[in-house]
Amino acid sequence: MSTANGLGLDRRSLLKGLGAVLGAQAASQLLGGQNVAVAMAFAQDSAPRQLQLLSERQFKTLAGIADLTIPRTDSPGALDTHSHWFVDNQLKHCFDSEEQAVATVILNKIDTVAQSQWGKAFYQGEQAGQLALLTALEAADGPFSQADTKAFKMLKALVVFGFFTSKVGMTQLLAYDPVPGGFKGSLPYASVGKAYSGGYPF
């Protein structure tokens, strides 16, 4: 029974063995130990910084939503990771025209309600007012319908998606484990302390 590089060996030994197979550089890229994220020299988040679908005004509304949803705390937030840029790009390239319309219509409605309640644009409002407005939207209260809530949740989920698939989201906010080294069926949650970045493809 050969266990020459079964799970019994530590990562360094595996790296050494694999180096002979793959070449040292490729092996260190695949199995870079503790600093695997750094060793793999990942590029930074790639998303264009030019509006693809939304108008300037809609984009400012979206940015306000993103900031309220995932603010900067002791860690970066949605705006730091350009998640609002991601949402605009994603809507353009991965959604059909009906879905795009759902997104722009709800952004416009949020702005219209803000205008009628405060006499100014959503993005110009105070954060407390913005939060109250979006909370009413999630509850389908006041001027907002169930359909509005559903449309908003689609946008909100996209903000979340953009944030948690950003490099910061995946490698800092979540437990990033690109090369787990095998599967272990049970370990204490506290030993990880947060969710993994996820399964395939994230």
| Region 36-75 residues binding other proteins, contact defined as CB under 8 A | 40, 42-48, 68-71, 73
Is 164 among the residues that bind other proteins (CB under 8 A)?
A: yes
Over the window 85 to 104, marking each residue x when it contacts other proteins by CB under 8 A and - when it does not, the resulting string is -x--xx--xxxx--------
Q: H helices of 3-45, where?
A: 11-22, 24-30, 36-39
- Selected from 10, 131, 141, 142, the binder of other proteins by CB under 8 A is 131
Residue 133 near residue 124 (C-beta atoms within 8 A): no
- Selected from 13, 110, 138, 142, the binder of other proteins by CB under 8 A is 138
Task: Say which residues have a Cβ less than 8 Å from residue 28's Cβ, sequence separation at least 6.
Answer: 15, 19, 39
Question: Is 29 or 108 the residue whose CB approaches other proteins more closely?
Answer: 29
Compute the distance between CA of residue 49 and CA of residue 58 in angstroms, rounded to an integer: 15
CB of 76 to other proteins, least distance (A): 10
**Please, which of residues 108-127 interact with other proteins by CB under 8 A?**
none
Residue 18 near residue 10 (C-beta atoms within 8 A): no
CB of 7 to other proteins, least distance (A): 6
Residues touching other proteins, count (CB under 8 A): 80
Q: Please calculate the CA angle 179-160-151 and round it to the nearest 5 degrees.
A: 140
Q: Quick one: which segment of 29-37, 55-63, 104-112, 118-126 binds other proteins (CB under 8 A)?
A: 29-37
Question: Is 113 or 170 the residue whose CB approaches other proteins more closely?
Answer: 170
Task: Say which residues have a Cβ less than 8 Å from residue 66's Cβ, sequence separation at least 6.
Answer: 78, 79, 83, 84, 87, 159, 163
Question: Given CA atoms 193, 198, 199, 202 in this order, what sign does their dihedral have?
Answer: negative
